[in-house]
Amino acid sequence: MKGIYTALVTPFYGNQLDIPSFRNLLKIQEHSSVEGIVLLGTTSESPTLTKEECTTIIELAKEEFHREIILGISENSLNKVFEKMAFYDSFAPAAYLICAPFYNKITKKGILFFYQEIAKKSNYPILLYNVPSRTGYDIPYKEVKLLSKNPKIIGIKNASDSLKYASSLACLETENFKIFSGNDESFFTTLKISHGGLISVLSNLIPNFIHKIYENIPQKSEQAQKDFSLLIPLFSFLSSEVNPVPIKALMSVFHLIKKDCRIPLSALENHYDSIIDTLIKKNKEVFNECFARR
C-alpha cells in the first residue's frame, strides 16, 4: 500500500447526507489517478455520523469506487474499536486507519497494548494514525518502532508538524511498513524523506495535480517542487478554519458540494467568498482539472 489516498469529505445538505453529491465525488476519485480513498476519518466529520449513515457511505463507495478503501476508526475504548471492526469487516476494507487515543491520555505501555490488541483482533491491515493536533501528543517513536514489526500493522499516517519526528519515522520505512504524510502543506518535504504516500484533503478537489507531484518527487524533484510551490497560497486558506470547513467551501465554488458542515462545525462565513474568488483567479493552473469538470 502506497501512493495518494483522498480523505473524502462527507457532503451534507440541510443536515442530511447529500447522496447525489457524494456519488459524484466518488466518480471524480474513480476517474482520477489516486490509489485509494479514506472514509470515516477526521475529514469525513465521522463523530457526527450515525451508524446508518456510515453504512450508506461505505455502500455507495463500494458501488462507485473500485480501488482501495480505507476506513477510519477513532475510539478511546478497545471494545468500541472491536465493535466497529466487527461491523465494518463485512465491507472488506483495504485497511483500518486507527487514531491514537485522545482525551483519556495514555502511557507508553498503554498505547503499545492498545494497538497490539487491535492488531490481534483485526481481520484487515492496520494503519496507525498520529495526529497530535487532536490527541495532544505524538505516538512515541520507540512504540511505533515496536509496532512496525507487527505484520498486521502496515504503516502510519503522520499528521505531526514536527520535521524531526517525520525524519525519525523515515528510518522505519520498509516494503511492509509505509510512512504516509497526513499534512498537505508539508507533504513535499516529508515525501522527500520517505516516499510511502500522502493521505490528502486537497485531493478532494485536485487529485490528479496532487498525484503528479507525488509521482515526480523521486526522479523529477525540481518539477515536483515547482508544482508544489503553486499550492502554497492554498495552505494559508485551508488553515483559516478547522478541517474540513475550508475545503468544503472551496469545493462548493466548483459546485461539487454545498459548504454545509455538521455542528459542532459550521460552514465558512460569507466574508471569505472574496478571498476564495481571488485565490482561484490567481492560481488557475492549480485548478485546471476543476475547470475541466464544469
Catalytic residue IDs: 129, 157
Question: String of b and e for 27-66 (b: at least 16 CB within 10 Å)?
Answer: ebbeebbbbbbbbbbbbbbbeebeeebbeebbebbeebbe
Q: How many Å apart are CA 183 and CA 197, to the nearest integer?
A: 11
C-alpha cell belonging to residue 100: 491514537
